[in-house]
Structure 1
Amino acid sequence: MKTIAVINLKGGVAKTISSINIAYTLLKEHGKRVLLIDNDKQGNTSKFFGVHSYDVPGVAELLTDRDLSVHDVIQNTAYEGLDIISANMNLLRADKEILLDVSRPQQTRLNKALQAIQDDYDYCVIDNAPDINMSVINSLVASDDVLVPIKVDKFAFDGLEQLVEQIDDVREFNDNLVFRGCFITMYQRTGVNVQGVEYLAQATPYPMFDTKIRKTVRVDETTFSGKPLLDYRKSTAGQDYVYLVAEYLNMC
């Protein structure tokens, strides 16, 4: 199982939508078995698939309850071959508990838990909070690749230097972690966006994907339908995620 961390320290960059549609594209277009992990206390990925709950254990409990198996927190979605581990506000408590519990390793708990299902899935996609906390550090330690969605504006790379530093620090526990690159979301063919893309390509030291995810009202509609773009209606953004996943697979 290859694990992909989708992360940006900024909010509002289509991180959750990207995680959902990358995971579903791997299933739909490539026939892969995929586990999607919601690692954000807001629980938007869990809400999207209708599994947000405080009655079922999720990633928070997996990180704090040493007797809990990963099999106990995996839930099915409406799509065969795509499963999910949910999240909720309990992640706030979990982050504090991890820091206070020095009786066992703090950074490697998720990685250790996922070892039991390495042969059950082809890919694991982790939707991370816009933060650097213990649950996010656990995600990076458990991951093979990092993908960073960004929106074209003056502040596109705010926090990215700190994120790259954290990735470097995590390599103490996971020396195989690779920062695959940034990809642009909510792209529009306007003067500002075109010039912004050119500027970012020239001014940034960070790797950039060629694929851009175009802005479309279909994305907002899917949050109400609970269907990934490729299962909802034909859209430019849906096709862009197909191109993005293909570009990612070609570089691995």
Structure 2
Amino acid sequence: MKTISIINLKGGVAKTLTADSMAHVLATLHNKRVLLVDNDKQGNTSKAFGVHSYDDKSISDVLTARRLDPREVIKKTRFENIDVMPANMTLIRANMEVLMDSTRPQQTRLRSALNAIAEENFYDFCIIDNAPDINISTINALVASDDVIIPIKIDKYAFDGLEELKEQIEDTRDDLNPRLRLAGCLITCFIRADAEKQGEAWLRSRPEYPVFDTRIRYSDKVTESTFSEIPIVEYSRRSGTAMDYIAFVQEYLRRGKQ
């Protein structure tokens, strides 16, 4: 099971859209079995796939409960090949609880849960939608991941926190997860403005930040699909955003074979 963290310390850059669209494309167009982990207290991925709840178990229980079978947390969706480990606002409390619990390792709890799931060889991919923060739950995600993808919306503040995130990825690789790699930055919400092109050029000139060739174009259809709780590729297959996510997944898979 290949595990991918979608993360950026800046909000509003299409992290959840990227995680959800990548899972949907892998499942429906590539026939891959995908576990989508919601690691953001807002629970937007959980809401998008109709599994958000305060009554059922969530990733908070995975991080805090002892001897929990992680399969108890996973929810089926209407898509045959997509399951979700949901999140809700209890993740705020869970982060604090983990930090206060010094009786067992704090950073490896999600990895232990996902390793137990991976042993069953049911899922081909696990995609983690992370909050725009470095807290104990996002550190758990990095420790559990093989690849990191950083969505970047190019604006005045596009690169705020990028260096700090890269440093956190490197520290996690050095200390806890030697297989972790920055797979690349993904330019999102692209409208071909001159400022965007300049920002993209700067980013591509920095060898420490690999950038995917595919850019995700902005489309009003994204907002419509969000309200409808339908993945963008299903809601508007011909929209630029949908076509770009299809191309991006193909590029990611192709790069993984190199």
Normalised by the shorter chain, which TM-score bucket?
A: over 0.9
Aligned match of 1:243: 247
Q: Does 1:190 pair with 2:193? A: yes
Aligned match of 1:123: 125
Q: Does 1:31 pair with 2:31? A: yes
Q: Does 1:200 pair with 2:203? A: yes
Q: Counterparts of 1:1-252 in structure 2 under 5 Å?
A: 1-118=1-118, 119-171=121-173, 172-203=175-206, 205-234=208-237, 235-252=239-256
Q: Contact 2:216–2:245 (CA<8 Å) still a contact in 1?
A: yes
CA distance in structure 2 between the partners assigned to 1:12 and 1:204 by the alignment: 25
Deviation string, structure 1 residues 25-71 (Cα, Å, up to 9, x no partner) = 11112110000000000111111112111101110111100122111
Deviation string, structure 1 residues 119-157 (Cα, Å, up to 9, x no partner) = 110000000000000000000000000000001123211
Structure 2: unaligned runs, 5 residues or longer: none
TM-score, normalised by the number of residues in structure 1: 0.97
- Residue 15 of structure 1: how far off its partner (Å): 0.5
> 232-241 vs 7-16, which deviates more?
232-241
Deviation string, structure 1 residues 143-176 (Cα, Å, up to 9, x no partner) = 0000000011232111011111111111211100
CA distance in structure 2 between the partners assigned to 1:36 and 1:245 by the alignment: 15
Partner of 1:206: helix, strand, or coil? coil
CA distance in structure 1 between the partners assigned to 2:244 and 2:130 by the alignment: 21
TM-score, normalised by the number of residues in structure 2: 0.95
> 153-162 vs 77-86, which deviates more?
153-162
CA distance in structure 1 between the partners assigned to 2:71 and 2:81 by the alignment: 15
Deviation string, structure 1 residues 66-95 (Cα, Å, up to 9, x no partner) = 122111000011100100011011111111
CA distance in structure 2 between the partners assigned to 1:147 and 1:191 by the alignment: 25
What is the number of residues matched between the two proteins? 252
Q: Contact 2:27–2:81 (CA<8 Å) still a contact in 1?
A: yes
RMSD, matched Cα? 1.1
Q: Which amino acid aligns with 1:62?
A: V
CA distance in structure 2 between the partners assigned to 1:91 and 1:120 by the alignment: 26
Partner of 2:205: helix, strand, or coil? helix
- Residue 191 of structure 1: how far off its partner (Å): 2.4
Deviation string, structure 1 residues 183-229 (Cα, Å, up to 9, x no partner) = 11000122232333223322573111110000001111111111111
CA distance in structure 2 between the partners assigned to 1:219 and 1:208 by the alignment: 23
Q: Contact 2:38–2:85 (CA<8 Å) still a contact in 1?
A: yes
Q: Structure 1 residues 22 and 130 mapped into 2: Cα distance closer, same or farther (>3 Å)? A: same
CA distance in structure 1 between the partners assigned to 2:156 and 2:210 by the alignment: 18
